[in-house]
Structure 1
């Protein structure tokens, strides 16, 4: 096992630097803050995505090199598709929640995860507008860092499924997900943008469940790898509906099927219930 605490120190520094750069685009103070919005597979990509991706990759590669580490970023993956052969692979999303970034909701994030094999062992999620960085290492717990210092985080305990709060997307919704949400016993919902921001809500005890359903497309490795470890090291769970773990750098970057993140107490029951509800779904 590599010295994860030592690697984390540098990664947190890179996370803060990336947050500062991304925030400068968000607030229009970057040297060239024109977003130059383009669309790739119906998803927006901005100049901020590209600039922050370059910053993170350059900083990580300068710090850790190529000999022992591989690199997968949302903005560079097309040039190097497939499973990366390295045992240790950085999986990076320089701007998760691009639509929220463009629409100025403030709910966008940066994801940096280090995966060993197919599972995350280190994660940093930076939320620039909150001026917070969430970080975790395998077996080391989850913390939130602000200008005031760091604090350990733990997911909440809730007495009943009916009282749970579900975080939902504003933009990534479809008929199947709407059917599932409508038929869950917990009907309290909180709309939040980036996956990183959703998981932050869980570990800061503002919500309890997040559900992702793939439709024509699916969330990607870089959407889930860092947020997953942030949640699980805070005591939560993040799995497929069949309780199997998410896996990364498998050669398919898509996370197909139903995924459920929770504060863990009723996790298996919630997964089983979600799968059962969807048995009755009939597309219109």
Structure 2
């Protein structure tokens, strides 16, 4: 099958091209960089950023906000109705550990809402795509297949995306409010949101710092797959009236705490 939106198909190709530039560095011996007093992570970040910006500018006149060009003044950004939100390499620890759980992220934001997103994990050879009103997909070596978030069923173990390290008191407070057993599903980078999008997890509570480019693309995937991404109140983490997470609505590009739920 082919994606129903030609623009999304172009973004997938751009993400993969950026991923190729990252892999050219990822596959090198990092000890070489120590001798040169340079960082493979920095080189990979900048290489992917330059690739994405150059390719986006060929197909779109919309502004671009990337982690590697995040110093655009709020006075300029606040007038944007639509723009591209980019994290050229999300998953710093995963890249350095070489566990493969890092991603290239490109999102199209419309009036504060992510309406299209592509998350590409080059080592895992998985691409996640979400398009508002049209659906969500994963692409592997077997081709495209649709994905959808999966609601928790009575008696089923809750699968919660979280850190591999110890859980905070706030996370424990949330887990205590759930009816039944819980199981931790560990994953790096923006792939955490994608686990809810694919139905492999029910919840992803984020009670730590993130920036808007960390989440925009995967947010679009999760939303298109039927999940919700809402602002999380640690005192009332399962509030059904929680507001949706939004983008470029304030000077700071830091996200509030949030919850991804099916």
1:202 is aligned, of 156, 176, 196, to: 196
Residue in 2 that maps onto 1:9? 9
Deviation at 1:75, TM superposition (A): 0.9
Measured on the aligned residues, the alpha-carbon RMSD in Å equals 2.5
Q: Which residue pairs with 1:73 in the alignment?
A: 66
* 1:190 matched residue in structure 2: 185
Separation of aligned partners in 1, 2:137 and 2:29: 29
The match for 1:50 among 35, 46, 53 is 46
Deviates more, 1:225-234 or 1:200-209: 200-209
How far does the alpha carbon of each residue in 1:8-29 deviate from its partner, in whole angstroms, 9 at most, with x for none? Answer: 1211110111122222222228
- Count of residue correspondences: 242
Secondary structure in 2 matching 1:158: coil
Counterpart check, 1:97 vs 2:99: no
Q: Decide which of 218, 221, 224 is 1:233's aligned counterpart.
A: 224
Could you tell me how far 1:48 is from its partner in structure 2? 0.8
CA deviation profile, 1:39-82 (whole Å, cap 9, x unmatched) = xxxxxx521111111111111012213xxx1110001102x132
Residue by residue over 1:136-163, the C-alpha shift from the partner in whole angstroms, topping out at 9 and shown as x without a partner, is 1110100112233211111223213861
CA contact (8 A) 1:56 1:94 kept: yes
Distance 1:191 1:5 in 2: 32
- 1:249 and 2:251 correspond: no
Could you tell me how far apart the structure 2 residues matched to 1:70 and 1:184 are?
Answer: 42
Q: Distance in 1 between matches of 2:160 and 2:7?
A: 33
Distance 1:140 1:55 in 2: 27
**C-alpha offsets along residues 187-235 of structure 1, whole Å, 9 cap, x if unaligned?**
31021111x2112222232221111114xxx211111111111011111
Given that residues 137 and 146 in structure 2 are in contact (C-alpha distance below 8 angstroms), is that contact kept between their aligned partners in structure 1? yes
2:218 partner SS: helix
Contact 2:130 2:223 in 1 (8 A): no
Q: Which runs of 5+ in 1 are unaligned?
A: 39-44, 264-284
- TM (normalized to structure 2)? 0.83
Task: Please give the alpha-carbon distance, in whole angstroms, between the structure 2 residues aligned to 1:115 and 1:97.
Answer: 22
1:239–1:98: structure 2 CA closer, same or farther, 3 Å change rule? same
Q: Is the 8 A contact 2:105 2:118 kept in 1?
A: yes
Matches of 1:81 and 1:212 in 2, distance apart?
27
Residue 37 of structure 1 corresponds to which residue in structure 2?
A: 39
Q: Are 1:22 and 2:36 matched, yes or no?
A: no
Q: Secondary structure at the match of 1:89?
A: strand
Structure 2 vs 1, CA of residues 27 and 180 (structure 1 numbering), >3 Å: closer, same or farther? farther
Question: Which segments of 5 or more consecutive residues in structure 2 lack a partner in the other structure?
Answer: 233-240
Q: Displacement, 1:104?
A: 1.4
Contact 1:170-1:193 at 8 Å conserved across structures: no
